[in-house]
Structure 1
Amino acid sequence: MRFRWAKESDVALILEFICALAEYEGMREEVTADETLLKEWLFEKKAAEVLFVSEGEETVGFALYFYNFSTFLGKAGIYLEDLYVKPSHRGRGYGKALLCELASLAKRQGCGRLEWWCLDWNQPSIDFYQAMGAEAMSEWTVYRVAGKQLEQLAAQADPIKRRNC
């Protein structure tokens, strides 16, 4: 087992993992990412990072994460957006190893937390996370504005007020 950070030449592989995860979650039709967007946002704008885990020469899993900030803690944290291990390699410790590596990175960088979301129906993942000591944040509800709703909300911004900021 070995880890490596994604390079720009890995964009197709990253997209492959994203699509496999979306397929597993029954959300494949929601994937609009493509190699061009991933190259721009991951390697030019550096909005997120990708860590791969390999068995021999085969890349068997990935974790895509970015940094967030906790005002209560006064420091950054790591937000794990995606974690995926190929079905043929599950149960061998790759998922745990990816999470441990991210936890180690968070500690080395002085971050206050490592967090992620998990779909309510995904009991195998819930069991896996709880077995490692993760706690469900059941008192919080996730909200999202995207697509048409994001466009409508953004259109309500007052350009005159923004100039005075």
Structure 2
Amino acid sequence: MNKENIYSTSIEGFTIRFATIDDTKLILQFIKDLAEYEKLLDEVTATEEILKKSIFEKGQAEVVIGEYDGEAVGFALFFHNFSTFLGKANLYLEDLFVKPEMRGKGFGKALLSFLGKIAIDRDCGRLDWWCLDWNTSSIEFYKEMGAKPMSDWTVYRVEGPKLKELADKL
């Protein structure tokens, strides 16, 4: 899959393309829009500079942009992780967002399907993501797309000062 191409979808007028460094401002706006929807906007500390460095210089994540009639209407940010049980990489979807006024047109499904194609093309074992428990509309959407909740696992996180404390224990 060539990162410079624009990919057609089965939805007339809707295309998907890999983001470039010129899309950094747009990516940050999508992140903020998603965070506002999730009632977590106060937790966003990302800046354009941080995103440029992390995504485009270090290659720590990738972004695809969904466009309808040439206007950016959604995005997906993802990266690889690794399953020791499968012995291969997986795709991890960090963010999937479609502008509220553009929902219900199949754009989210197309973006998720595109990620599925990337996972298959890259021989990934699976596609994973998290979803907030209260977000019932997204949960139903994901189930409709064939996803299943992983209720046997609990997510843990170390961040901020506790991350520094952990690192200092070495």
Bin of the TM-score, shorter chain as denominator length: over 0.9
Q: Which of structure 1's runs of 4+ aligned residues deviate more than 4 A?
A: none
Q: CA offsets, 1:55-112, max 9 Å, x none?
A: 0121000000000000000000100000000001000001000010000111111110
Normalising by structure 1, what TM-score? 0.94
SS in 1 for 2:117: helix
In structure 1, how many angstroms separate the alpha carbons of the residues matched to 2:122 and 2:166?
35
In structure 1, how many angstroms separate the alpha carbons of the residues matched to 2:36 and 2:16?
24
Q: Which residue of 1 aligns with 2:33?
A: 20
Residue 132 of structure 2 aligns to which amino acid in structure 1?
Answer: L
- Compare 8-17 and 147-156 and name the one that shifted more: 147-156
SS in 2 for 1:53: strand
Deviation at 1:155, TM superposition (A): 1.1
Q: Which residue of 1 aligns with 2:45?
A: 32
Q: Which residue of 1 aligns with 2:155?
A: 142
Give structure 1 stretches of 5+ with no counterpart.
Answer: 158-165
Deviation at 1:134, TM superposition (A): 0.3
How many equivalent pairs are there? 157
In structure 2, how many angstroms separate the alpha carbons of the residues matched to 1:147 and 1:94?
35
Deviation at 1:132, TM superposition (A): 1.1
Give structure 2 stretches of 5+ with no counterpart.
Answer: 1-13
Q: Name whichever structure is richer in helix by fraction.
A: 1
Q: Which residue of 2 aligns with 1:79?
A: 92
Q: Which residue of 1 aligns with 2:132?
A: 119
Show the 5 A alignment for 1:60-139. Answer: 60-139=73-152
In structure 1, how many angstroms separate the alpha carbons of the residues matched to 2:51 and 2:108?
23
In structure 2, how many angstroms separate the alpha carbons of the residues matched to 1:113 and 1:84?
20
SS in 2 for 1:133: coil
Show the 5 A alignment for 1:47-58. Answer: 47-58=60-71
Normalising by structure 2, what TM-score? 0.91
Cα root mean square deviation, aligned: 0.5
SS in 1 for 2:148: coil
In structure 1, how many angstroms separate the alpha carbons of the residues matched to 2:158 and 2:27?
25
Q: Which residue of 1 aligns with 2:22?
A: 9
